[in-house]
Amino acid sequence: MAFHCEDLARYGVVLSEPSPEELYDLRADLERRWRARAVGCPPVDEEALGRLIPGETAVLENRADVAIAGLAYYWSVREAQGERAIHIRIQGGPQPKALDQRIEKFAAYWNTIFPGSRRLIPFRGGPIGDNTDVRPPGEDELRRGSGIGGGMGGSHSGQPREPARLTLDGVLFVDGGFAGPNKLGWFDRMMIAPEVRAEFAALAGSVAVEAFFAEVNKVVEGGDNPQRMQPHAPIDRVAIYEHERYLLGRSALGLEKAVGAQVAVSQIAGWGSAAPKLRRP
């Protein structure tokens, strides 16, 4: 049974359901490009090809003039009471400035969707594909040393369901532009997270090391009550703020354990720089 696509064609981001024959050709092209990957490309997940099922896979195409840095979308399923959103997913996000220009170029190629590039969106799991369908990576867009990866997250139900609708809730372009209804509150989360990072950075630069981690421990010990992303739930900015503080507090404590308190505070003091400048139409 066919599913419905709700895309952002007005902003150049288009969803479609391919026919079984089209999906076969797209998968064959993807496999061909994967076999031809140069040394220095990130690894591929060949098991992901098993998720490309006719009737459960959409094609996303970037027809805009600007590369895409991140997506927020969700699949809905049919139930007796109507449709219910499951398989909620956030893929990518703001592209941070890196000290190493090579790392920045790597991320700009492998963690974005170029104009003219397409991604396969299976009912289960994240988008599949990369920018090699537009052009091969340059020498300075290949990896040296440890891996570099893009952010990915999502929630889903393990119960078998038949997809009824795929909704593109938000698209973040690399120039900071955001488009979409934002029912999941992803734009709010991206706006609040840098504010929290700046608060941690300011605290790290203004108090003694012991005092800083005493405050961080208070935040973490207070627990977490994350707002579950649901398209029909109200967006609670206070809950998002508290959740981001908790996550960043955990990160700060992890950094302290990894590099020591003094070095950790020195690094955290720089968290407030180069915050992404996001905007909505």
Where does the pLDDT of residue 152 fall: very low under 50, low under 70, confident under 90, or very high at 90 and above? very low
Phi-psi region of 21 (alpha: psi -120 to 50; beta: other; left: phi over 0): alpha
Average pLDDT for 13-42: 95
CA distance 121 to 179: 19
Which of 18-27, 97-106, 139-148, 178-187 is least confident? Answer: 139-148
Average pLDDT, the chain: 88
Report pLDDT for 258.
95
Decide: residue 39, CB within 10 A, 0-12 exposed, 13-18 middle, 19+ buried: exposed
Helix 237-259, helix 261-268: angle, nearest 10: 140
Compute the half-sphere exposure of residue 78: CA atoms within 13 Å on the CB side of its CA. 7
Q: Which pLDDT tens digit goes with each residue over 202-226?
A: 999 999 999 999 999 999 998 877 6
Q: For residue 53, is pLDDT > 80? A: yes
Where does the pLDDT of residue 149 fall: very low under 50, low under 70, confident under 90, or very high at 90 and above? very low
Q: For residue 22, is pLDDT > 90? A: yes
Residue 104: CB atoms within 10 Å: 16
Q: Which pLDDT tens digit goes with each residue over 224-277?
A: 776 667 787 888 899 899 999 999 999 999 999 999 999 999 999 988 766 568
Sign of CA dihedral 257, 263, 265, 268: negative
Report pLDDT for 224.
78
Q: For residue 151, is pLDDT > 50? A: no
Where does the pLDDT of residue 78 fall: very low under 50, low under 70, confident under 90, or very high at 90 and above? confident
Which residue's entry shows tokens 């909704």?
A: 167
Q: Which of 126, 143, 142, 156 is nearest to 58 (CA)?
A: 126
Calculate the alpha carbon distances from 123 to 20, 64, 170, 195, 222 in Å: 15, 24, 18, 34, 36
Report pLDDT for 157.
46
Backbone angles phi, psi at 272, to 5 degrees: -80, -5
Q: For residue 51, is pLDDT > 80? A: yes
The residues near 76 (Cβ < 8 Å, ≥ 6 apart) are 83, 84, 85, 86, 163, 164, 165, 166, 167
Contact assessment for residue 246 and residue 200, using Cβ atoms and an 8 Å cutoff: no
CA distance 161 to 167: 16
Where does the pLDDT of residue 86 fall: very low under 50, low under 70, confident under 90, or very high at 90 and above? confident
Q: Which pLDDT tens digit goes with each residue over 93-123?
A: 887 665 567 788 999 999 999 999 999 999 9
CA distance 22 to 41: 26
- Taking the whole predicted model, whether its pTM rises above 0.75 is answered as yes
Report pLDDT for 103.
82
